[in-house]
Structures are given as structure tokens and as C-alpha cells.
Structure 1
Amino acid sequence: MLDASRISQRIKLRQLSVFVAVVEHGSMAKAAEHLSISQPVISKMIASLEQTLGLPLLERSRLGVTPTLYGEALLKRSIALSNDLRSGVDELQALADPTIGELRIGSTEPVMAGLLPAIIDRLSRQYPRLALHIIEGEPPELQDRYLRNHDIDLMIGRLPSPTPAADTDVQELLHESGVVVAGLNNPWVRRRKIRLAELVNERWCLPPRESFPGGWIANAFHASALEVPRPSVTVYSILMQSALLASERFLSFLPASMLHYSAKRLSMKILPVEMPAQMWPIGIITLKGRTPSPARRLFIDCALEIAKPLAGKRTPDR
């Protein structure tokens, strides 16, 4: 096998893109059809790539092809390289005009229901030629899969751990907590003060106990010396929770910032319930060692400005 420096000089980007297409489509014939080139050309390029590396990349069978252990490793790097190249082209375009370009953002459902739309609304008004691509996921997946594979340029949401990973930079935006919410015509919204104990036997729509918000809710009840109520409906989806709250029969817990930015749109109201002050940080995570694009800098600056009203608050908004 050749040494790394000589291999890098001999491998062509076209070979890598063809290799990725073959793996994604599971056969050389399907990849050839997708790329609009002949199957013999595909076979020749894959054979040349394997010869250059001195390693088998694909296992052939009657059912098609699958990557070997070496192929899996090359696939991951090839996708990251393709994403980096695309980001590089975007950066060159943005240097000519910093108000255009593309930004790939990973976020969580609660942030996508409140804070993120507020950021995007202002950003798009100021820079209407920016193109934003949003991917939804959970914080660990967004960081460990999408960010490290360069599928996204940044992640905005709950920070996955108290200590940032060594290869990431973190910009904290605000400290988040949960609030009790109800539909606008729920009888409880007429009360000026409510104890959490009064709500234990109400009809609750709550996320699963094993989820992060489910664990936070359980801790909130335990901190008030109460048993966690048995939910009438258990569902993680905020969209589903919002729909049930609109029926005026259910109560739920939702992030305070989501209600700060979207309570009117979602037709719900925060109940005046004293909650234990348990906070967790919401922030932006980027990878170290990557040149920040102008679009990324514009987004982070806008996010800091939008989050400023809540950044210093240590108790939920009411």
C-alpha cells in the first residue's frame, strides 16, 4: 500500500463521488443510472480506487454491493470532504458578497418551535439572499453525527453535556427552564397563583419519563415533595402536545423560551405556578478548526441579539 501523501495525490474527487454513489444506491448499475454514465466506467473507477489504496472497498454479491470495513471508513471521510468542498465554495461566494450564501443548521424541536424562528425571521429580513437549511434531531445526535460529519455548520439547542467536547466551540445563549402551560380557555388560566400540588390530578400530556424533558419534569415534582402525575397522554412531539392543549382539557410542561417567542401563535398560556429553579443552557455549537463563514457569523450575532431578553433571566417568564 502506498504512503498517505502519495495516495492523496493520486485519488480524484470524481472517484470518491462515484464510490459514495455506489454505496448509497447499493449497486454499480443503479449508481451508473443516477450519474448518467456507463456501468463499465463505474467499475473501472472503483477498481482504480481500490488499486490505489491497496484495499478492498466493496463486497460484491448477487444482491449488489456493500462497503467493507475499509469502505465504511472511506465513505465517512468522502462525505465529510464533499461537505467541506461545498462549504468552501459557499465561503468563496460569500466573500464576494457577505449577505449571500448558505447555512446548514441542526436544531431541536423545542428550539424550532420558538427561538429559532425568531432568529430566522430577523435574519431573513436583514439578509433576504441567505439560504438556510434546517435539520431536526436530538442534541447528542446533532453533535456526534451531523456536526462531526460536516452535514451541518452549527447546532443550536440544549447543550448535550455540561462540559463542551474538546473539538467544539460553544456560544451560550440563555438558561432554560420549563413552565406549566394550558390552552387559552382552560379554567386554570383565570387563577393568579397556583401551587403545583393543586395540579397533580389534572389531565396531563407529558413527554416520556426516560426522555430529557420527562426527567426534568419528574425532578420538578420530586423537588416539591410530590409524586409525578400519571399522564393521560404520553407523547414526545410538541406538535401533538400543542394540539391537545388547544382542546382546553390538558396541561403540559414546555420550555419557557418557546412560550416567550410563540405563546400567541400556539394559542396557549403559562400558568402562574412556582417551579423549582432547575435550569439548563441553550447554546450554539460549532466545530473547532473550521473557518467560520460570513453566514455563520451573521447567524450567531443575530441569535445573541434575539436571546438577549432571556439571557439574564434565572426564572421562567410569566
Structure 2
Amino acid sequence: MNMEYMSGIDTTAVERFDPTRLKTRQLNLLVRLDEHRSVLHAADAAHMTQPAATKLLRELEETMGVPLFERHPRGVEPNWYGEVLIRHARSVLQELRHAYDEVSALKAGLTGEALIGTEVTAATNLIPQAVALLKRRFPQIRVKIEMEFSEALVQRLQEGRLDMIVARIRSPDDLAELHYEPLALAQHALFVRAGHPLTKTRKLSWNQLASQSWILPPQGNVMRNRFTRLFLERQLALPTDVVETSSLPVITSLLQISDMVAPLAREPVQPYCATGALEPLRFDFDLKLGPAGIVTRRGEKLSPGARAMLRALRETAGFAISEPGSDRE
């Protein structure tokens, strides 16, 4: 770091930092400097003169109390301080663009369509909340929701039949063309009707479970594969009394009127447990499926309606407000 240059900056300024002193022109210049690594070229890109750019940069460094770039004969290079501020400058400018887009959309009465696919856990809570948030902002956007297993959703997304999905990504090859933001890991358990004979068993064994009647996802589903693996790892015969279905209403209905057992994520079944219709077995069911995530096609420019839906979905999930990547700008 150029200590001589640094000595000319008030390094105590950061202690009395006032963000209102920052100018959007300074933030834009920072991003241009990172892109061009030349004050002259950055000034051209920011539509200002080189002296004006130099003055803005100097004022910004004085405001921050640290130098942000290393000066070289061939141009400038951001230092650690500069890299941090550039990252946040991009985020601020992106947020301002989003704010303008939303205001413009509200003025115009944003319409359009958003096509969402979801696995069952997100369909219970995340998706309804996100759609409600979107409809409060843009009532005229038409939303279509499909619920399926992750494998089918990923295929539909890749084929362009969906704008975004909440699903699990299994194949590393898929990650090359998809943008994936993981959600919190879902917890699973074995569920039965209230008063089921197994609820009275103090210590369940895998052998006892193997002889039960089961409700399972169809063959090829990731949960079914992991379920099968748990039995094979213990050298147990796979259950033969099986009903295959992917429908949560069918599963919960069957559980309530029979002695069948089903592996399910806890969140979608919680309302049934709260009313006393179903309950989880006291059994350490170590089913690790990996987290679902919000998934979009990498490099895809979404329609305004789909972008608004994605933003609502990410906000509901608690992610940073700005959308991932710059390919949707």
C-alpha cells in the first residue's frame, strides 16, 4: 500500500462516518473504476471528465478515511478497502435500480405472469407467503404454481416451462446452468395417526419398522432413494407392503384412517399434528436430503412479472433483497 499517499488521508474519518455524505456518482465511479482500472476510461464510462472523477474519488477516500485504490503507471487497482466498498456500491446501485423499477411498475400497473414450481415443504409456507406479498404489491400479476418432486421441477425449469422453482439440486452438472440459493434444511420424521400402536412402543427398532405398511414416494424420487438406502445399510429387507403416492392430501388421509407409516418433512404435517390427527414416532429417522433452494436458470432474463415474483420469494426467504447476479439487470 502506498504509505505516502495514505498519510495524506484523515484515517480517523471513518469513526465519524456519515453515509449521507456519499454520492451516487461516487458509487457509480467506484464500479466503473473496478471495471476499467483506469481513471480516464472510468470517467468516460461515468459520463464525466477525468478531473471531476479524480476529485470525486479523492473526496470519497477522505470520507472513508482510507485509500481505496493503488495507483500504478498503467492505471489503478482496488485494494482490500476498495474491494469491500465496490461490492457494497454495486449492491446500493442495484437496489436503486430495483426501486425505480418497482415505482415505474406501480405507476404503470405491472401485469404479466410468473410460473413457479415447488416441492411440498415450501408449498406449505414459503410459497403462499411470497405470493401473498407479490399480490399486495402487484395485484394484476398472474401466478401459476406447480407442485412436484425436485427431479421433475428441475427438468421443467431447464426446459423453460417454469420461471423459478424451490427444489433440491442433485446433479453437479445442473449447477453449471442453474442459479441455486439454499434454504434452511428441512427436518423429517416418521408420521402415523394419533393412537397408532407404534406410538406406545418405548424403543422402536428398524426390524419393527420394516414389517409396517408404508406410504412412500414413487421409485426414482430422492426421498425414496434415501429411504431405501437406510434399510440396505442395515442389511434389512425392504418393506413390501407399500403404497406409492406423491400427494400430501392422499398421504395424510391414508395415515388418519389406517395404521400406515409415512416419512414426511415436519413442516407440511405440523397443522395435522396441532389438531391431534397425526403424530411423529419417537424414532431417530436420520433422513438427510440436503436443503432445497430457490433455483433459476443462469443467464436468463426474467419477465417483469417473474422478476417481481422472484424478489418477493427471496424477501420472504430472508435473503438479501438484491437479486443474485447481474444477468437479470
Question: TM-score by structure 1 length?
Answer: 0.55
Q: Do the aligned partners of residues 154 and 208 (structure 1) sit closer, same or farther apart at CA in structure 2, a change above 3 Å counting?
A: closer
Q: Is the 8 A contact 2:213 2:241 kept in 1?
A: yes
- In structure 1, the partner of 2:29 is none
- CA distance, structure 2, for counterparts of residue 192 and residue 126 of structure 1: 49
How far residue 197 of structure 1 moved from its aligned partner, in angstroms, is 3.0
Q: Counterparts of 1:1-318 in structure 2 under 5 Å? A: 95-97=104-106, 101=111, 102-108=113-119, 110-111=120-121, 114-117=124-127, 119-120=129-130, 123=133, 127=137, 129=139, 131-144=142-155, 146-162=156-172, 164-176=174-186, 178-191=188-201, 193-260=203-270, 263-264=273-274, 267-276=277-286, 278-291=288-301, 293-304=307-318
Q: Do the aligned partners of residues 170 and 221 (structure 1) sit closer, same or farther apart at CA in structure 2, a change above 3 Å counting?
A: same
Q: Do the aligned partners of residues 207 and 266 (structure 1) sit closer, same or farther apart at CA in structure 2, a change above 3 Å counting?
A: farther
- CA distance, structure 2, for counterparts of residue 231 and residue 194 of structure 1: 19
3-state DSSP class of the match of 1:97?
A: helix
- In structure 2, the partner of 1:24 is none
How far residue 165 of structure 1 moved from its aligned partner, in angstroms, is 2.8
Q: Is the 8 A contact 1:179 1:254 kept in 2?
A: yes
- CA distance, structure 2, for counterparts of residue 238 and residue 266 of structure 1: 17
Q: Do the aligned partners of residues 117 and 298 (structure 1) sit closer, same or farther apart at CA in structure 2, a change above 3 Å counting?
A: closer
Q: Is the 8 A contact 1:172 1:282 kept in 2?
A: yes
Q: Do the aligned partners of residues 297 and 192 (structure 1) sit closer, same or farther apart at CA in structure 2, a change above 3 Å counting?
A: farther
Query: Structure 1: which amino acid aligns with 2:292?
Result: I
Greater radius of gyration (CA): 2
Q: Do the aligned partners of residues 137 and 300 (structure 1) sit closer, same or farther apart at CA in structure 2, a change above 3 Å counting?
A: same
- In structure 2, the partner of 1:39 is none
- CA distance, structure 1, for counterparts of residue 310 and residue 272 of structure 2: 24
Structure 2 segments unaligned to the other structure (5+ residues): 1-99, 320-329
Q: Is the 8 A contact 2:215 2:245 kept in 1?
A: yes
Q: Do the aligned partners of residues 106 and 197 (structure 1) sit closer, same or farther apart at CA in structure 2, a change above 3 Å counting?
A: same
- CA distance, structure 2, for counterparts of residue 135 and residue 104 of structure 1: 8
Q: Is the 8 A contact 2:131 2:312 kept in 1?
A: no
Q: Is the 8 A contact 1:224 1:276 kept in 2?
A: no
- In structure 1, the partner of 2:97 is none
- In structure 2, the partner of 1:31 is none
Question: TM-score by structure 2 length?
Answer: 0.53
How far residue 117 of structure 1 moved from its aligned partner, in angstroms, is 4.9
How far residue 248 of structure 1 moved from its aligned partner, in angstroms, is 3.7
Q: Is the 8 A contact 2:153 2:167 kept in 1?
A: no
Query: Structure 2: which amino acid aligns with 1:158?
Result: R
Q: Do the aligned partners of residues 143 and 278 (structure 1) sit closer, same or farther apart at CA in structure 2, a change above 3 Å counting?
A: closer
Query: Structure 1: which amino acid aligns with 2:153?
Result: L
Deviation digits for residues 32-91 of structure 1 (CA, Å, limit 9, x no counterpart): xxxxxxxxxxxxxxxxxxxxxxxxxxxxxxxxxxxxxxxxxxxxxxxxxxxxxxxxxxx9
3-state DSSP class of the match of 2:286?
A: coil
Amino-acid identity (%): 19
Deviation digits for residues 79-134 of structure 1 (CA, Å, limit 9, x no counterpart): xxxxxxxxxxxx978742299654220123x2365344553476368647254211
**RMSD of aligned C-alpha atoms?**
3.5
Aligned residue pair count: 213
Q: Do the aligned partners of residues 173 and 230 (structure 1) sit closer, same or farther apart at CA in structure 2, a change above 3 Å counting?
A: same
